[in-house]
Structure 1
Amino acid sequence: MQRQCFICGGRDLECLFVNTWVLPGLDLKEIGFSICRNCGSVCQSPTVTFDEMMHFYSSMAVYTNPGRREKPSESKIRDLDEQIQFIKRGVGSLPSSALQIGSSDGYTLSRFKQAGVTRVLGVEPGEASVRLAKKLYNIDCINDSAENFTTTETFELVILTHVLEHLYAPQTVLNKCRHIQDPLPEGFIYVEVPLFASPDSLCPGFFSFEHINYYTRANLFKSLLDTGYYPVSTVEHYNSNLAPVIGVLASTKPQHHTEEFSSEYENNSKKVQKYRQQEVAYWQQKLDEILPTLQQAKNVYLWGAGIHTCQLVANTNLLEKVHITGLTDTSELKWGLKQGNWHCVPPEAIEWQPGDAVLISSYASEKEIFDALQWLRDKKIKTLCLHRIDNTKTN
């Protein structure tokens, strides 16, 4: 499916690169990344349809890690500490009500409730996450997409942390948020997204399947201003998370703090091209370093049905060099789903043999997964990390 620009609505998009992706639960798809010749915003196009993406979220999306027993990571706790104080400082006090779109497992809203927000409500398309929010934190959520949900309530604060980059029509959703706050003397919105910064500061897999929009500081400000929100506070981090992030607190009251937007076409085009060259070289180098071990193994299993496995296959010659016996994951949501030529099975369903090897494709959760697989190493199964980093920056 070809898209139009998510910021200015322009249809003149230039495709910068395209791959065939082996997506979990879906057929082979041509996924590309394009730039708007008008405003210079970068988005995923061609991409899958909205219904296909919703199928992915409802059946595949998992927000907790078995190694944490459904508890938030240390970085998630840290980020919420900052977000609450950041909003409190920008507003003057915490609002009395908050709506979070993309509420995941409910942890964020539980923290705002603990901090004194008296009415909280989530919107979340993943059924498993809605159940977790209720079970873990007693947080109520509307089980629907950001595009389709409705509410008759008014909320002083709307929270969208790492949501806008996922939406097919983010401007429409921001307009919906603005409409929810129309009756108020002043409303606030807090948005946080990955920041499309210098290519050298971006992590492997930055251009991912789930992220279909890419924000710079300039086009994020433009997206808010165009929907009636006025930035009042901004925070950027480059080293504390997997990828650079930007958070913006904006008000429904007119402000005069921002400069006029100008096209970013030339700069963003160069950034994408440089990053893409580095990305392909990175994945292949990491695979080459462990290729001899994989080729000597009796059987090779990929650990993790999902996007990182998809990127591993798309960006390397793995399938040409190694016979992959199967695919496994601890998430029940993924069992039985087909990804490429494999069906994901529970680890317990595999007849493990000494000399087998497991390749962990995940970047964000690699260390946690590796630590949780000691039981396989006890069986003389080699557990291999592709990226081999002690990652403390996961969300």
Structure 2
Amino acid sequence: MTHCPCCQSSDFEPVVSLPNMPVVINALSDDAASARAVPRGDVELVVCRSCGLVYNAVFDDARMAYVPDYENALHHSPSFKVFADGLVSDLVQAHDLYGKRVVEVGCGDGFVLSRFLDAGVGEAIGFDPSMEGRDSPFARPNMRIVPHYFSTDEVDGPIDAVVCRHVLEHLAEPRKLLSDLRRQIGDRDMVVYIEVPNAEWMLQTVSVWDVIYEHVSYWTQPAIEMLLRRTGFQPYRIRQGYSGQFIMVEARPADVDPDYVSNGVDEALRRARSFGSEAALRIADWRTRLKDRCGRAVLWGAGSKGVTFANALGDCGGVVAMVDLNPRKHGRCASGAAIPIVHPDKLSEIQPDLVLVSNGLYEAEIRDRLASLGLAPELWVITGNPGPAQGSVGRA
């Protein structure tokens, strides 16, 4: 990839390398052998000096396939449900979406769509290729999920709001999606809500475990604002949420501003350089901490952070299982690392001495669950600080 996915600049510098990572880290495998045999690829993170976007310069879009075994839902966590309900309620009230039509690009199994309907939206339509051959557990009479990539050809009549959560980071050409959307909106006025992982949180906390092959790009606030303005959207509210781990943008259609340059790029560059120098030390430190310890360890959270941690560290640490609340993951194996994924109740049999918490935001609920099982293992938080699910909110 010779040009920045955001601004098309070829002026970039290296940040960090993670070789031989699973290409689709959120895919589930039936057994250890198939988990070890998954396709792998290199991650060569660079930062664009023009817009502050961090991206994988050797990403190969042809290798990506979001099949039905792909699973990255967060809604099994009580903390995420609180966040999602607050987000939906805020959008519906602020933009008077009662009885109106909402389209979600990259809707997953429809959880957030169902929350919009519960909050008073009249009709919800979602697009997601990973839903091919799957039924949504959140199905409603006035909800429809189209199991392929977004197209307004599938929507008859007006659209009152577009939601696009955690999609742009997966696209080699995010400008194309937003430009197509802007062209199809035309003269209509509507809210467009964009949500992406917050790269600045990742850089500041040195959460190298958030680096996955599936993510082409890691969005800083300057980069996401530049992309939106250059594709014809006016961001008027930019917040951080989920304890700072997400960037949340509300925008409206506007004139394309092809030469727009954001403030804050220099700070993004500074953080990216610091992250690059610290990431290798962070991996080495965790290997040292886990290498000589005795007893059984489990890793709580079989999502991107947990699976990347397991792959980056290899066999050290004696991790015998990964724990997750998502029932679709139980009895399966984590991509690449081939560690079995279990229900929390299985910990009564495993009797772990150590629980590695992949995301500190969930530490309180994990402690409560362990206490309910009569277990009191040591807890080590891999990344992030505990805090309320709503996170900090502020205007740009």
Shorter chain as denominator, the TM-score bin is 0.7 to 0.9
**Does the alignment pair 1:83 with 2:91?**
yes
The CA distance in 2 between the partners of 1:274 and 1:100, in whole Å, is 36
Structure 2 unpaired stretches of 5+? 26-34, 392-396
The CA distance in 2 between the partners of 1:263 and 1:75, in whole Å, is 28
The amino acid across from 1:60 in the alignment is E
Instruction: Provide closer, same or farther for how the CA distance between residues 331 and 114 of structure 1 changes in structure 2, counting only shifts above 3 A.
Output: closer
Name 1:133's counterpart in structure 2. 138
Name 1:384's counterpart in structure 2. 379
Name 2:31's counterpart in structure 1. none
User: Structure 1-normalised TM-score?
Assistant: 0.74
Partner deviation per Cα, 1:155-207 (whole Å, 9 max, x = no partner): 1321223332232221111122223323x543442223344448885573584
Partner deviation per Cα, 1:328-380 (whole Å, 9 max, x = no partner): 545443333353453424457899355654434344434334433446545xx
More deviation in 160-169 or 332-341? Answer: 332-341
The CA distance in 2 between the partners of 1:367 and 1:280, in whole Å, is 29
Superposition pairs for residues 1-395 of structure 1, below 5 Å? 2=1, 4-10=3-9, 13-20=12-19, 22-23=21-22, 24=25, 25=35, 26-36=38-48, 39-47=51-59, 49=61, 51-52=63-64, 54-55=66-67, 58-65=69-76, 68=78, 73-88=81-96, 96-114=100-118, 116-127=120-131, 131-134=136-139, 139-146=143-150, 150-153=153-156, 154-182=158-186, 184-197=187-200, 202=205, 204-205=207-208, 207-209=210-212, 210-231=214-235, 233-237=236-240, 241-243=243-245, 245-252=247-254, 254=255, 260-261=260-261, 267-279=267-279, 281=281, 291=290, 295-297=293-295, 299-313=296-310, 319-320=315-316, 322-327=317-322, 329-334=324-329, 335-347=331-343, 352=349, 357-374=354-371, 377-378=374-375, 382=377, 384-387=379-382, 389-393=385-389
Partner deviation per Cα, 1:217-266 (whole Å, 9 max, x = no partner): 433233223323234x223237x6242624132224x499x994169775
- State the identity %: 18
The amino acid across from 1:268 in the alignment is A
The CA distance in 1 between the partners of 2:372 and 2:327, in whole Å, is 19
The amino acid across from 1:247 in the alignment is V
SS at match of 1:392: coil
User: Structure 2-normalised TM-score?
Assistant: 0.74
The CA distance in 2 between the partners of 1:38 and 1:98, in whole Å, is 34
The amino acid across from 1:9 in the alignment is Q
Instruction: Provide closer, same or farther for how the CA distance between residues 246 and 362 of structure 1 changes in structure 2, counting only shifts above 3 A.
Output: closer
- Over the residues paired in the alignment, what is the CA RMSD in angstroms? 4.2
Deviation at 1:120, TM superposition (A): 2.3
Partner deviation per Cα, 1:90-115 (whole Å, 9 max, x = no partner): xxx77932211122443443444455
The amino acid across from 2:332 in the alignment is G
SS at match of 2:43: strand
Instruction: Provide closer, same or farther for how the CA distance between residues 286 and 17 of structure 1 changes in structure 2, counting only shifts above 3 A.
Output: closer
Name 2:30's counterpart in structure 1. none
Structure 1 unpaired stretches of 5+? none
The CA distance in 1 between the partners of 2:81 and 2:229, in whole Å, is 33
Deviation at 1:79, TM superposition (A): 2.5
